[in-house]
Amino acid sequence: MHAEEQLTNGFLDAPVDWTPGMSKHLRLKDFPSFFRATDPDEYMFHFALHVTERLAEADAAVLNTFDELEPEALDAMRAMLPPSVSIHTIGPLGFLAEQVVPKGSPLDALGSNLWKEDDSCFGWLDGKPPRSVVFVNYGSVTVMTNEELVEFAWGLANSGHDFLWIVRPDLIHGDAAVLPPEFMESVGGRGLLASWCPQEAVLRHEAVGVFLTHSGWNSTVESLCGGVPMLCWPFFAEQQTNRRYSCTEWGVAMEIDDDVRRDAVEAKIREAMGGDKGREMRRRAGEWKETGLRATRPGGRAHASLDALVADVLLSGGKAR
């Protein structure tokens, strides 16, 4: 991008349909944020280029995805990389771990959360009807303004649905996350706020009906594994790309505008929870869940890819065959 003003004159809505292996429905604004940098010295842009260049020298690339989810992108990667670099799709990792990690083992106790989990929310969820709760979590590092927080809060309140909202102490940029007192009074027992939770387990709870998310990759895959449709409000990195794929390629999500407004949040929640679009999204999410399960079971492509990774890379002592 050569000029800052190009970011505000509609240029970001321009279609980009020529990227090998990528969706033909992508707009410029759907590409990772560091690829849209206006500063030629942007650190993350150069870091991404460096990692991409080094990939050609690797023994293997290990990806938390499955072939059925991103076939075109994976085919393009395989065509671009040297034959010496093997690509191993071993996702969804949550499903695969259930197949290969013994329950109660030291490996079973490992996790990747940046925050201490609080599982007290499950008692509250257990008392809710199936698919009745809006689960809201913007990830472990995403931040927003206080104005955006308030708009989301009233959108949730006005939707009339129960909700579980993860509000980290540092969710507001440069300040503490404080909700208006009248907000909590208006929702009463319909809402539960927590600082963090075991997200993967929450998304598999039958009470959860939709996931309001920042569209990070782990969150996206975990939502698919739970068969839960999404409302996407991405912030940075590849989250915009994940949002677009979730909405247009996989049919499991709707997007919330960057300039968030409470009436739009309310409308999207109502449609996702009870409208025709929401029912179709839930059906598609359920199909992806079953596809992910098949991929990670013995005989599935992800399960076989893990075996190949161990045999051809980890135990070979050299370049993958």
What CA–CA distance (Å, rounded) separates 252 from 307?
Answer: 30
Q: Which of 100-109, 133-142, 253-262 has the lowest mean pLDDT?
A: 100-109
Q: Angle 112-31-295 (CA atoms, 0-180°, nearest 5)?
A: 50
Express as a percent the part of the chain with pLDDT over 70: 91
In this structure, the answer to whether residues 83 and 20 fall within a common structural domain is: yes
What CA–CA distance (Å, rounded) separates 123 from 120?
Answer: 6
Asked if residue 103 is part of any domain, the answer here is no
In this structure, the answer to whether residues 54 and 172 fall within a common structural domain is: no
Looking at the structure of the chain, the number of domains it has is 2
Asked if residue 109 is part of any domain, the answer here is no
The CATH number that applies at residue 254 is 3.40.50.2000
What's residue 318's pLDDT? 56
Range picked from 41-45, 172-176, 283-287 for highest mean pLDDT: 283-287
What's residue 7's pLDDT? 54
In this structure, the answer to whether residues 185 and 134 fall within a common structural domain is: yes
In this structure, the answer to whether residues 20 and 166 fall within a common structural domain is: no
In this structure, the answer to whether residues 302 and 273 fall within a common structural domain is: no
The one-letter amino acid at 297: R
Q: At 189, is the pLDDT very low, low, confident or very high (cuts 50, 70, 90)?
A: confident
What's residue 9's pLDDT? 54
What's residue 102's pLDDT? 83
Asked if residue 101 is part of any domain, the answer here is no
In this structure, the answer to whether residues 83 and 149 fall within a common structural domain is: no
Question: Which structure tokens are listed for 150?
Answer: 């308030």
Whether the full predicted model's pTM is greater than 0.75, yes or no, is yes
In this structure, the answer to whether residues 87 and 182 fall within a common structural domain is: no
Asked if residue 111 is part of any domain, the answer here is no
Which of 154, 115, 104 lies closest to 138, judged by CA?
Answer: 115
CB atoms within 10 A of CB 120: 10
Asked if residue 113 is part of any domain, the answer here is no
Asked if residue 319 is part of any domain, the answer here is no
Q: At 4, is the pLDDT very low, low, confident or very high (cuts 50, 70, 90)?
A: low
Residue 140: give the domain boundaries. Answer: 119-288
Report DSSP letters for 29-83, one per residue. Answer: GGS-GGGG-S-TT-HHHHHHHHHHHHHTTSSEEEESS-TTTSHHHHHHHHHHS-T
Q: Which of 118-122, 160-164, 178-182 has the lowest mean pLDDT?
A: 178-182
Across the chain, mean pLDDT equals 90
Asked if residue 158 is part of any domain, the answer here is yes
In this structure, the answer to whether residues 217 and 303 fall within a common structural domain is: no
Torsion of CA 50, 244, 291, 196, to 10 degrees: 80
Q: Angle 136-140-145 (CA atoms, 0-180°, nearest 5)?
A: 70
Q: Which long-range contacts (CB under 8 A, 24 or more apart) does 258-263 make?
A: 258/233, 260/148, 260/151, 260/152, 260/155, 260/233, 261/151, 261/155, 262/150, 262/151, 262/152, 262/153, 262/154, 262/155, 262/158, 263/155, 263/158
What's residue 283's pLDDT? 99
Which carries the bigger pLDDT value, residue 282 or residue 115? Answer: 282
pLDDT value at 160 more than 70:
yes
In this structure, the answer to whether residues 160 and 303 fall within a common structural domain is: no
What CA–CA distance (Å, rounded) separates 222 from 201?
Answer: 9
Asked if residue 157 is part of any domain, the answer here is yes
Report DSSP letters for 269-306, one per residue. Answer: HHHHHHSHHHHHHHHHHHHHHHHHHHHHSTTSHHHHHH
pLDDT value at 246 more than 60:
yes
